[in-house]
Chains A and B, each alone.
Chain A
Amino acid sequence: MKFLQQLRLGFRSLLLHKLRSALAVLGILIGVTAVIWLVAMGEGVSYQAQQQIKDLGATSIIVRSIKPAEESSRSDSNARMGISYGLLREDFERIVTNVPTIGRAVPMREISREVRHREQFIDGMVIACTPEYFGMNRLKIARGRAISEIDMSSYANVVVLAHEAAVKLFPIEDPLGRAIQIGQEFYVIIGIAAERSAAAAIGGSLDARQYDRDVYIPLTTFRARIGDRVFTSRAGSFQLETVELTQITAVVDDMKEVDATADIIRALLQRYHKVVDYAVVVPKELLEQAETMRAMFNVLLLLIAGISLLVGGIGIMNIMLATVTERTREIGIRRALGATKGEIVQQFLWETVVLSGTGGLLGVLFGFLCGPTVNGVRFGVRASLPEVWAALPPNIRNLEPRLAPWSIIAAFAISVGVGIVFGIYPARRAANMDPIEALRHE
């Protein structure tokens, strides 16, 4: 094949000057490796950020009940009957059955209550939820178990305590199997949730609420024991409120469909609610923030990568100019034997492509070493410089580079492109030599 011949010829010409060619290859190698590594780190950081946002619920849509202004409430004007507002169990059914882009949806009712165990008490938040709530909110159970379907169907008086609630209520004893009191009812503790790492570290939090004082009971139990109608005290006066669900959290499978899904939910709720006694919240801003960050990061990386490849390209051009001068005679011979200018250009371009392509391939190989290298450095720093290690922010300590396939392809393609771009001038110089002069060249 013509192509393979050209490639072989390029290789052999470059082998005439092994060290020089190796140095030119090194220049490109470093550039390509830099691109792959930097992108991998960038992807790692951005993946971390995305995971954190996902913890906050970037793919989720939160629909919350809100209390409408007094005069427009759903109930009649009988103040003694209290007011009734917010999301209905029917709404939940409607959303689940009518919006196909939603993967999971979880209803929840919450109410702040005093939670007691003997003399210990906290002003906790009673979260009445379904078993899926734990998974959806990435609440891990440290000990015991979570709420189960059986608890739901049997209206069991069971409770899962958040970490801090457990510590506050049971400073000494083991809380598992004991009972706590919420209002008039007693609930058996079946599990303790793990400490929830604050996911709100990036760019302000969607929900700054303290998760650590929550107590979780089955949604069915809440309805049976506490009911929809609750007294709340506000501004010194008691008020009776009827709320079926405090919140519906819907998780969309595809992050791209979050906005559209939110619109559908809004439209759906609008049809059944005369007043706007709900709010649809999309944790979109965070997402957009993350995307902007990521874009900025990528631009920066491309800049750095571009500079290193530029330097590599200049190295190649330098080598090729030397090569062309040195092989003036060969150029003259080839011209005499029938090579057109175009064919001379081609020949030298092939050589630069071989140079830069070799650099590119080796660079890709070194690129694959990114993960092991980062791990090695991490291990080394932790072992030999513990105080430096401790001072590093967790984002860096936990950084896992993620090789981006596109970066590998792009880096290789760019390296070959750099070879071509920086090879054109030397190749044209070679082609434009006067063959007679070239043949006379010593």
Chain B
Amino acid sequence: MTAYLLRRLPSLALVLAAASVLIFAVIRLVPGDPATALAGANATPEAVEAIRAELGLDRPWVTQYFAWLGGLLTFDPGRSYLIGGTIGSLITESLGNTLLLASSSLFLAVLTALVLGPLWAGTRKPWLEHLLTGINTLAVAVPTFVMGVALILLLGVLVPVLPSGGVPRDGLLANPSITVQYLLLPAVCLALPIGAVLTRYVAESLRTEMAQPYVVTALAAGVSRRRVLLRHALRNVLPTSLTVLGLQTGALLGGAVLVEFTFSWPGLGLLIERAITGRDYPVVQVLLILSVVVFAVLQLLTDVAHALLDPRVRLGGAR
């Protein structure tokens, strides 16, 4: 396995090096640079040049590239042109906010699926079935940003029981009960489509499972339907539901960007948007290279898992 890993590492390094060059070059090919973005519409060309020199953007690209690469390799990716703070602290803070939102949404989605999935599969009341079907369809069909605005208008404006956006004045950690209230609307908004898909999947899988011979046998033996549903059928459905959940998690992170904007939640989505709009090269570069690293490492882990399961792969034999 070590030999296999050693064989893979050069290609990984090559991919990352190529990605770093590509990212560095592409962002500079987009019209408008940080100096013009910072200078504003009333600036003179001389002022722009002064800012460019201050940021080091007047140096040759090669020099800039190696300076950036050196920073990355020494875990000092530099400072944001726009915000001024270190990129590490900016990304850490924004990532923390996004992860909190995403994990809360995931929790709500899973909870919804675990409660409503079995209820939907087990009910024999047509009205309840229709109700659940209607709600489910609505949750999947209504776009996240529309749902967000609707939730804000309903619970933030018309019946103002929850904040309509933002984060607590004293930070997320100062008062958890306040934080929960700020988190609730964006988390629900983000959780709804995923929870709906997952709920429908669990319900449908349970229905299929409940037609299995072992269920018929158990019911004939006098085991209650509820017990069979929750103790046996649900357990059998969970592994495949996890796969669906995994697929939905990707969509959740994408949706988080929209939800962050709608609810003014200061996460990675807002940071990326601001960095791109302001041509904040250091921040954009680090965010993009990070995504490449994450993808490449995941790919490597998948290949390693594949190699562990199939000796032909790690031995370099025919597949």
Q: Tell me if chain B binds chain A.
A: no
A interface, CB within 8 angstroms of B: none
